[in-house]
Structure 1
Amino acid sequence: MDIATFENSFLNLPSPLEEIYGPLWQDQQIRLFLKRDDLIHQTVSGNKWRKLKEYIQIAQDNPKKGIISFGGAYSNHLYALAYVCHQLKIPSIGIVRGDELNESSNPYLKQIHQWGMKLHFLDRKAYQKKEVHSIDNMNDYWVIPEGGYSNFGISGIREIVLEIENKISSDYIISAVGTGTTVIGLAKYSSSNIVGILCLNNKIEIQNHLQDLSLDLPNLILKEDYVQGKYAKSNPALDAFCENFKAQHQIAIEPTYTGKMMLGVYDLLKKKYFPTGSTLICIHTGGVK
């Protein structure tokens, strides 16, 4: 199966652009839209397919032994990659952070394993250095960095920008920030102001990425006030916000990424950060958990 057939058969593309309403922004004559990448697919949800697509195309056009990538015990990235490789019959290996884990440690690792991805578990020090001694020659595989961060992943984000531009003119595009792949891609390919809501304390890492890639993106604004402690850690206030958002708009958001992003957007709206009359596009980056 080729990429086009997979997209046409399995994925909901282009993803919907849905306007949501509330006095907090309507009183400022601001329009607020959600780019519903969470509806692309139940498993390959959100920005995961955007960041994987070019790698999958390369792996099909220039076959090697398979694809290797990295992630934690609950990695949405590995989960999506395992599913895609299963459907396209591409051998895959997942390098997982935590040598205390195994294929049955949680339902996500179990499902990844059932889809055929071979899992290798590293202690945290080796994982940080990406020292994988259990694989003889990684050059025999296509290697996707953790979270899909790379020029290929960044390039894949261009499709989000094109889909938005085909529908509406925006003043601000807002996204949660993990590895930075999505916001860097948005800022590279869009002329709108790009606001990245950091979901972990990695602003310096994102700035280093920009330097490594020789990218000067004056339209990229990083906000680090909404991390809420540590990565993937929630709290009662954030959980309540996500629940209230779902009740009000009938759209589920999770506290790791999109919940933190929308919490940040609401706070910025309360502070009247966005000029009156602005059009905001918030990227719902999905995630199965």
Structure 2
Amino acid sequence: MEEIFDECWNSKGIQVFVKRDDLIHPIISGNKWRKLKNYIQTFSLNEHSGILSFGGAYSNHLFALAFVGHSLRIPTVGIVRGEELIITSNPYLNQMNDWGMRLHFVARSLYRDKEIPSEYENYLCIPEGGYGSQAIDGMDNLVHELPSCDAIYCAIGTGATAIGIARATSVLVTGILTLNNRAEIEDHLKDFPAANLKLDDKYIFGKYAKSNADLETFCRDFYEKHQIAIEPIYTGRMFYALVDHIKNGHIAPDSKLVAIHTGGIK
């Protein structure tokens, strides 16, 4: 836990703490490991030939899975969105390939169906982004590591992290959506209810991972002030929302907030 200071909130008696899950590991940092660990701990090569999952060209989840597979000598397969891609399309895909992950590039229309190639039917399938009951349960230990507080802030991709945190605590959890998938998250909440999870979709900045000068500047300024690196896709949007909520009076004076730094390679 690391407390950060700024006149924006110090003047209101608000405390902001950052849960530095980005420091867990340089590659499988933050929620990447917390979502994967239950899958890995229960995996057996006696039951499955390897592990398969899905993701985009810059998927933190697939990157972490490839490294885990390489480290533990577990065969891995990545089904990657985008038939135009090749292994050398970016350094992340190239590194995943070097770690031994077999990459299959599929058209976006086919990717939506999440079909598993017949040769990998005996592979353990982890859903896109690691989402699933084991990922949600993997957040229990994170919550046990948090101090008492009035609210928790967390970025939302597939929703596993925020839902898992909310289900493990009675504290209000504010989930900042990073893409236009509110309906999907609300469907997930039907399967894994968490009444204390509040969704905020006002900080998507138009489109997932879309470049935004204001957001890029915020991330740079945040690092200069606090010496904590954040990226504009997930953590940048979350911290931007947190600061904006404080500025606009959405946070009561003298509150204690915890922001979850979920790590990531970008």
The TM-score by the shorter chain falls in which range?
A: over 0.9
Match of 2:25 in 1: 41
Whole-angstrom CA distance in 2 between matches of 1:230 and 1:158: 31
Cα–Cα, structure 1 residues 61 and 163, in superposed 2: closer, same or farther, change >3 Å?
farther
Q: CA deviation at 1:36?
A: 0.6
1:241 matches 2:225: no
Match of 2:130 among 143, 148, 152: 148
Whole-angstrom CA distance in 2 between matches of 1:136 and 1:65: 10
Match of 1:179 among 152, 158, 162: 158
Q: CA deviation at 1:58?
A: 1.3
Whole-angstrom CA distance in 1 between matches of 2:17 and 2:126: 31
Letter in 2 for 1:180: G
Match of 1:261 in 2: 238
Q: Name the SS for the 1:104 alignment partner.
A: helix
1:136 matches 2:113: no
Instruction: Spell out, residue by residue over 1:208-246, the C-alpha distance to the aligned partner (whole angstroms, 9 max, x if none).
Output: 1111x1x33221100111001110112111110000000
The percent identity for this pair of structures is 52
Q: Name the SS for the 1:256 alignment partner.
A: coil
Mapping for residues 113-262 of structure 1, pairs under 5 Å: 113-133=97-117, 135-138=118-121, 140-164=122-146, 168-211=147-190, 213=191, 215-262=192-239
Match of 1:104 in 2: 88
Contact 1:94–1:120 (CA under 8 A) maintained in structure 2: yes
- Unaligned 5+ residue runs, structure 1? 1-16
Match of 2:255 in 1: 278
Whole-angstrom CA distance in 2 between matches of 1:192 and 1:60: 36
Whole-angstrom CA distance in 1 between matches of 2:115 and 2:157: 22
Instruction: Spell out, residue by residue over 1:220-279, the C-alpha distance to the aligned partner (whole angstroms, 9 max, x if none).
Output: 100111001110112111110000000001111100000000110011001111122211
Whole-angstrom CA distance in 2 between matches of 1:240 and 1:137: 43
Q: CA deviation at 1:137?
A: 4.8
Instruction: Spell out, residue by residue over 1:6-33, the C-alpha distance to the aligned partner (whole angstroms, 9 max, x if none).
Output: xxxxxxxxxxx10000111111111100
Whole-angstrom CA distance in 1 between matches of 2:205 and 2:221: 18
Q: CA deviation at 1:61?
A: 7.8
Contact 1:188–1:217 (CA under 8 A) maintained in structure 2: yes
Q: Name the SS for the 2:199 alignment partner.
A: strand
Match of 2:40 among 56, 74, 77: 56
Contact 1:192–1:219 (CA under 8 A) maintained in structure 2: yes
Contact 1:126–1:132 (CA under 8 A) maintained in structure 2: no
Letter in 2 for 1:154: I
Letter in 1 for 2:153: I
Whole-angstrom CA distance in 2 between matches of 1:63 and 1:243: 47
Cα–Cα, structure 1 residues 89 and 22, in superposed 2: closer, same or farther, change >3 Å?
same
Whole-angstrom CA distance in 2 between matches of 1:173 and 1:217: 14
- Unaligned 5+ residue runs, structure 2? none
Letter in 2 for 1:96: V
Runs of 4+ in 1 over 6 A off after TM superposition: none
Letter in 2 for 1:198: L
Match of 1:74 in 2: 58
Q: Name the SS for the 2:163 alignment partner.
A: helix
Match of 1:3 in 2: none
Count, aligned residues: 266
Match of 1:4 in 2: none
Q: CA deviation at 1:172?
A: 0.6
Instruction: Spell out, residue by residue over 1:143-200, the C-alpha distance to the aligned partner (whole angstroms, 9 max, x if none).
Output: 0000000000001011110111xxx211111100100011000110011100001101
Whole-angstrom CA distance in 2 between matches of 1:56 and 1:161: 20
The Cα RMSD (Å) is 1.2
